[in-house]
Every structure is written in C-alpha cells, then in structure tokens.
Structure 1
Amino acid sequence: MTSLRPDVEGSQILDLPNGKYGVPDMMMHGFQNVRSGNTPAHPLQHSEKHWHENKKMMDFAMLRNLQGLHAPLKLQMELNITQKMRRLPGLGSSHVLEESLTGRDMMLDFEDIFNDPDEVPLSSQPHIQMEKRLNIL
C-alpha cells in the first residue's frame, strides 16, 4: 500500500563555508547561494509551493483505498472535462463545478479575498479576443 504522505523532494542541506568566527558568513555566501541554487530558502517552501498537488494526490490515494480504482479515475475524468469547458473571451466564469469537485468551494483562500488575475473583466472587443484565441490575428 502506498503512503499517503508526500515525499520531501525539496529538503536539501545548504553547506556554507564557515567564516572567521565559526559560523557561516551570510553576507558573503548565504543570500546569493539560496537565490542562484535550486534549493529552497526554507525547508517548508517546497511543501507549501506544492500543497494543492500533495493534497490532491493524498485525496486520490485515500479515495482509491476506500472505494476502489474507479472512483479517482471518474473524478479525474470529470475534472478534465470541467477544465476544458471555457466561456467566450471577455466573459468571466466562476468555475463552480470545478471547485465543488475539488472541495475548494468549502475553503476560504487568498484568491477569494483578493482579486484573482484570471477573473479580471476584460473590456476590449469580444471579436478581437476570439480571433486571438483562434490564432487568426
């Protein structure tokens, strides 16, 4: 049986050279190494960045263990169908079906309080937006 906990892929130890007093010299080595390297700045950064994916995988594994293989396959198929359904350009969508399938309709997130960039109403001409979507322009 597979584990429900996600693997910790982003936790890596930073080896900074010790400075004059036996502690790492952050002004010379610390900040540049964190930005330029592929390691996260904090051990929880990788986990927080991939929280939704980890929760989705844990929910699918639990659903598979409780109801069988058909349940997560059916849910994934329904999610794929809802992600393909789009409105005409310039018309906003609330994505109610997708949020109810994933359970995000019961959560209050940052995007619910502050404006989501995907939901910004566009005030240009709908014909031009549709031609751009169809790569005619």
Structure 2
Amino acid sequence: MQWILALTLAIDLAGVQSEPNLEKRSEMALDYANQALDAARESYSRGEFEQTQAQLEDVGASVDVAYQALEKTGKDPRRSPKFFKRAELRTRELLRRLDGLLQTVSFADRDVVEKVHARVAAVHDNLLEGIMSKGK
C-alpha cells in the first residue's frame, strides 16, 4: 500500500508547475493536494509527524499553485467560470477533509493543520469571490 502511495506522489509539485496549460496545471495541482493530504493522514497515523508536516506544506503550496495558475490565465472568473468553479469545489472538499484531520490529530499538533486550513480557506474565499462578484 505504501509503495502505491509513493508512486502516486511521484508527480511532484515541480512536475505540476512545468505543465504549460494553466487550466490543466490547476487541476493537476489540486490532484496533488488531495494525494498529499492522503499521505499526510497516513503518515500521521504511523506517528511520523515530521513527514506529516512536510506533506501538509505540500497541500498548501499546491493549492497556491492552482490559484496562481488560474490567475495567470487572464480569464474573468465571472465570464469563464468552468475551471474556477472546479477549483472552488475541490478546495471546499479539501477544507472538509482538513476539518476531519483536525479532529483526528492531537491538540498539540493542531496548529500545523490549522495553518494549512487557513491557507486553503483564503484561496477558496478568493475563488468564490471572483466567481460571485459583480461585473465592472
């Protein structure tokens, strides 16, 4: 099971950032964030907190990469909401999963998860605001 997870994480964040299609880069970054969150949950259950911290940092970084890629498209989220809405839904799912992880980790370890949760929540709020804001 561990080698399958390691194989799925073989696509690292640098590989995601090298994708020339910005919308696909956003999708790949959010896929990577979900995989990193799975890996973080598994490593925490094994008691490897340092590895959990690194994987949670990858979750936050990949969500940032996804948002930056969508911003670089130059598209208006209100006029072309397809990929923005997908990213909003996926970040909302990540937030729910991070809430579940917050309930799982011990009180002493929660600050790391809360930082990542706040980072993902900020991106989610920005995406939602872009989609729902009034036109100029």
Task: State if a TM-score over 0.5 links the two structures.
Answer: no
Greater RCO, CA 8 A, separation 6+: 2
Which structure has the highest helix share of the two? 2
- Structure showing greater Rg: 1
Alignment TM-score, normalising by the size of structure 2: 0.29
